Amino acid sequence: MRAEDFRTTQDDSRPELSQQPIEAGRIVLRSLRKGDAELVARHAGDRRIAQMTCAVPFPMSLEAAEEYVARALDQDRIEDVWVIDGTPGGSAAFLGVISLRYLGRDQSEVGYWVAPAYWNRGYASEALRALLQANPHDNRSVVASVFQDNPASARVLTGAGFVCLGEAEAFSLARGEHVPTWTYLKTLKG
């Protein structure tokens, strides 16, 4: 990370980042673009994706996807969102997304989803490893949570060195109910 990529906000409580692409073998993590809203709506609006997230509605309208993209592009955002772009490896330009939400105290929360057409190909694992290695928020640690009925996502986290801290629950907008979760932590630097 270069010095000009990291600036603090006026209250010095969260980093304001110049979101750079992150290259990683078969994929590149790139910023969302306004033109990505249709693909966000199509893929995140799939019930199999929406039900495994807290904040994605089902069904997801194009308007909701446009608002999501606009928030991701806002200068005052609290979450950086990258598209998992598979063009370097000869795949689709939009495989899914991965994000970091700054929590404070040198910690962020990671979230991700991959479109069902690209499941079981290692894209989530590759994107997560690349994001952790780049550490664009300069975190000491990263947390994540997954619904307990999503063991594939739990395997992605443990495969990247996350340790399960315990159980909790979170509200899923798509399901309209609280769902049991597992919470994970990865320490990046002492």
Number of independent structural domains in the chain: 1
CATH number of the domain residue 91 falls in: 3.40.630.30
Is position 9 within any domain?
no
Q: What is the pLDDT of residue 13?
A: 53
Query: How far apart are alpha carbons 133 and 111 in whole angstroms?
Result: 16
Is position 25 within any domain?
yes
Query: What is the radius of gyration, based on Cα positions, of the chain?
Result: 16
- Compute the average pLDDT of residues 74-103: 96
- 79 in Cβ contact with 99 (< 8 Å): yes
Q: What is the pLDDT of residue 3?
A: 31
Mean pLDDT of all residues in the chain? 91
Which pLDDT tens digit goes with each residue over 59-72?
Answer: 999 999 999 999 99
Q: Which residues pair with 110 in a beta bridge?
A: 100
Is position 127 within any domain?
yes
**What single-letter amino acid sits at 8?**
T
Is position 8 within any domain?
no
Please report, for residues 11, 18, 110, the alpha-carbon distance to residue 7 in angstroms, rounded to integers and kept in the order given: 11, 8, 21
Task: Tell me: pLDDT of 8 over 50.
Answer: no
Structural domain harbouring 79: 17-187
Q: What is the pLDDT of residue 16?
A: 56
Structure tokens, 39: 């693909």
Is position 64 within any domain?
yes
pTM of the model: 0.90
Task: Tell me: pLDDT of 6 over 50.
Answer: no
Query: How far apart are alpha carbons 174 and 176 in whole angstroms?
Result: 6
| Other beta carbons less than 10 A from residue 117's beta carbon | 11
Is position 1 within any domain?
no
Which pLDDT tens digit goes with each residue over 124-173?
Answer: 999 999 999 999 999 999 999 999 999 999 999 999 999 999 999 999 99
Is position 181 within any domain?
yes
Ramachandran angles phi, psi of 169, nearest 5°: -150, 155
Is position 2 within any domain?
no
